[in-house]
Structure 1
Amino acid sequence: MTVDTHHHLWDLDVRDQPWMTGPEMQPLRRDFRPADLVAALRGTTVDSTVLVQTVSDPDETPEMLVLADSCDRIAGVVGWTDLTARDVRERLGHLLSNPSGRWLKGIRHQVEDEPDPDWLTRPEVLSGLAAVEDAGLLYELLVRPHQLPAAIKAVGQFPQLTFVLDHCAKPPVASGELEPWESRIRALAAHPNVVCKLSGLVTEDDWSAQPDAGRLRPYAEVVLDAFGPARVMFGSDWPVCLLAAEYGEVFRLAWELTSGLGDAARQAVFDTTARQVYEL
């Protein structure tokens, strides 16, 4: 039994994915639908997944909720809404009252694309985070290392809100550097309401060098040590991971990177923590 806490689906006939720019993104410029997900999971122990938003479009989240109704592997959805909107509470209520609203577990925004490194601490954003907390949802942090100081401040203001850090905050794997990423990760992990996804590392490395557990291990070890296995969850980041590795390779890499853990700790990373955090 394994939960994949991070994957995407899209249909380019329904909606473009504007972040797919440049020839290097060509492998992703096709449709990825529930049947493709089921095919990718073959040969792994993954039985439940969390579907995560890809664009800042209010129409995407209701569509993902419907997909969760139609695909028995999808056990939860992390959607998007405009945190800065004055009616953010009404928007969240509308999503939760959707006929498929029971699948909505959290909200995410592509903070990584915001030019302001302090975006997360803007008053209107903090007000939006309060609305997420009051709605009984969690908030996923999609940030880069230079945005971690603001994330740490925001997290500190909402000790009762669960935050989930995506992709280990995208460390500089390709360069092999650890600082200042490591110090900031440890400061964020000092807040007990933050959980981290062991995901997205393969695409932060040199794609042609994949897969290489040795290059990823220093970053995985920092995360496992800082958060502890009980606050780390496996995520594939499929199909984005296909830029560097197939689904099965990503799964095997994560298994190898956690080889030093005991059985219970490993089970937490691959299963039990996710079921608790997302209430699956």
Structure 2
Amino acid sequence: MTVDSHHHLWDLDVRDRVWMSGPGKDPLRRDFLPPDLHAALKGTSVDSTVLVQTAADPDETPEMLVLAETVDQIAAVVGWVDLTARDTREQLGRLQAHPSGGRLRGVRHQVEDEPDPDWLIRSDVLAGLGSVEDAGLVYELLVRPHQLPAAIKAVSRFPQLTFVLDHCAKPAVSTGELEPWAGLIRSLASYPNVVCKLSGLVTEDDWASQPDAERLRRYVDVVLDAFGPRRIMFGSDWPVCLLAAGYAEVLDIASRLTDQLSEPERRAIFDTTAREVYGLR
């Protein structure tokens, strides 16, 4: 069994996604709905998935919760609330009281798009993170390397809150740079309340290149060494991954990049860590 800890669905007739604009994004500018997910998963070992938000829109999360009740594979939802609002606690309460609110397991914001590198340690955001902690949810860090120092400070403020780092903080795979990303990853991983998703790396490489596990290996090795296999979980980042690779190809690359690990360690990355973090059955 395999858990995909990170994928998306969207209907562009319901709402547009600004982040899809720009050159090379054409493969994403169409609807991705449950039948597309079923087709992507066919023939793979994936039996459970985590559906993750794509828009800073309060209406998206309730829609995702309904999907989680109606699509067999979707076991959990990571939604969105406004962490800067005075009523973040109430927003979370309404989502958890939703008829499908038991599927909500985490919250995320596209911090990568915030111009302030210290956004995560603003006083209003820290208050919002406190509400996430009190609600018993996890918080997902969608950041780029230059935002990791603030992420480290935020994590240090909330030792009881589980943080999940998305896409390994998007290292500069296409240019081959390791630092300062690698050192910051090790600093973040020194906090035991942080888990990392092995996801999103194929789209940090050159999209025009044939996906190559060996080009990604040095980044994955840093993450494996810093977090250890039992604090890492596989995520496809489908359908965003289609910019560089298909679903089965992403899963195969992740398998090849971890083939040196023991069977219990691989089982943690591809199954048990995600089940523990998100409370999956």
TM-score (norm 2): 0.99
Are the equivalent residues in 2 in contact too, given 1:203–1:243 (CA < 8 A)? yes
Distance 2:176 2:19 in 1: 25
Identity of aligned residues (%): 74
Following TM superposition, by how much is the alpha carbon of 1:209 offset from its aligned partner in structure 2, in angstroms?
Answer: 1.3
- Letter matched to residue 251 of structure 1: L
Cα deviation 1:207-266 (Å, max 9, x = unaligned): 111310010000001001100000000000000000000000000000000011000000
Structure 2 equivalent of residue 144 of structure 1: 144
Structure 1 equivalent of residue 133 of structure 2: 133
Following TM superposition, by how much is the alpha carbon of 1:28 offset from its aligned partner in structure 2, in angstroms?
Answer: 0.5
Are the equivalent residues in 2 in contact too, given 1:9–1:33 (CA < 8 A)? yes
Structure 1 equivalent of residue 162 of structure 2: 162
- Map 1:99-110 onto structure 2 (within 5 A): 99-110=99-110
Secondary structure of the residue aligned to 2:108 is strand
Structure 2 equivalent of residue 116 of structure 1: 116
Structure 1 equivalent of residue 174 of structure 2: 174
Unaligned runs of 5+ in 1: none
Secondary structure of the residue aligned to 2:5 is strand
Cα deviation 1:74-98 (Å, max 9, x = unaligned): 0000000000100110000000000
Following TM superposition, by how much is the alpha carbon of 1:34 offset from its aligned partner in structure 2, in angstroms?
Answer: 0.8
Cα deviation 1:95-117 (Å, max 9, x = unaligned): 00000001000000000000000
Distance 1:275 1:169 in 2: 22
Distance 1:209 1:198 in 2: 20
- Map 1:58-77 onto structure 2 (within 5 A): 58-77=58-77
- Letter matched to residue 50 of structure 2: V
Structure 2 equivalent of residue 57 of structure 1: 57
4+ residue stretches of structure 1 with deviation over 4 A? none
Following TM superposition, by how much is the alpha carbon of 1:161 offset from its aligned partner in structure 2, in angstroms?
Answer: 0.2
Distance 2:23 2:144 in 1: 23
- Letter matched to residue 17 of structure 1: R
- Letter matched to residue 233 of structure 2: M
Are the equivalent residues in 2 in contact too, given 1:202–1:210 (CA < 8 A)? no
Following TM superposition, by how much is the alpha carbon of 1:35 offset from its aligned partner in structure 2, in angstroms?
Answer: 1.0
Unaligned runs of 5+ in 2: none
- Letter matched to residue 138 of structure 2: L
- Letter matched to residue 67 of structure 1: L
Deviates more, 1:210-219 or 1:138-147: 210-219
Structure 1 equivalent of residue 44 of structure 2: 44
Following TM superposition, by how much is the alpha carbon of 1:205 offset from its aligned partner in structure 2, in angstroms?
Answer: 0.2
Secondary structure of the residue aligned to 1:19 is helix
> Does 1:19 pair with 2:19?
yes
For the aligned residues, what is the CA RMSD?
0.5
Aligned length: 280
Distance 2:96 2:29 in 1: 31
Following TM superposition, by how much is the alpha carbon of 1:195 offset from its aligned partner in structure 2, in angstroms?
Answer: 0.1
Structure 2 equivalent of residue 192 of structure 1: 192
- Letter matched to residue 277 of structure 1: V
Structure 2 equivalent of residue 265 of structure 1: 265
> Does 1:216 pair with 2:216?
yes
Distance 2:195 2:22 in 1: 32
- Letter matched to residue 171 of structure 1: P
Following TM superposition, by how much is the alpha carbon of 1:23 offset from its aligned partner in structure 2, in angstroms?
Answer: 3.5
Distance 1:10 1:160 in 2: 32
Distance 1:40 1:29 in 2: 17
Structure 2 equivalent of residue 87 of structure 1: 87
Distance 2:132 2:32 in 1: 29
- Letter matched to residue 115 of structure 1: P
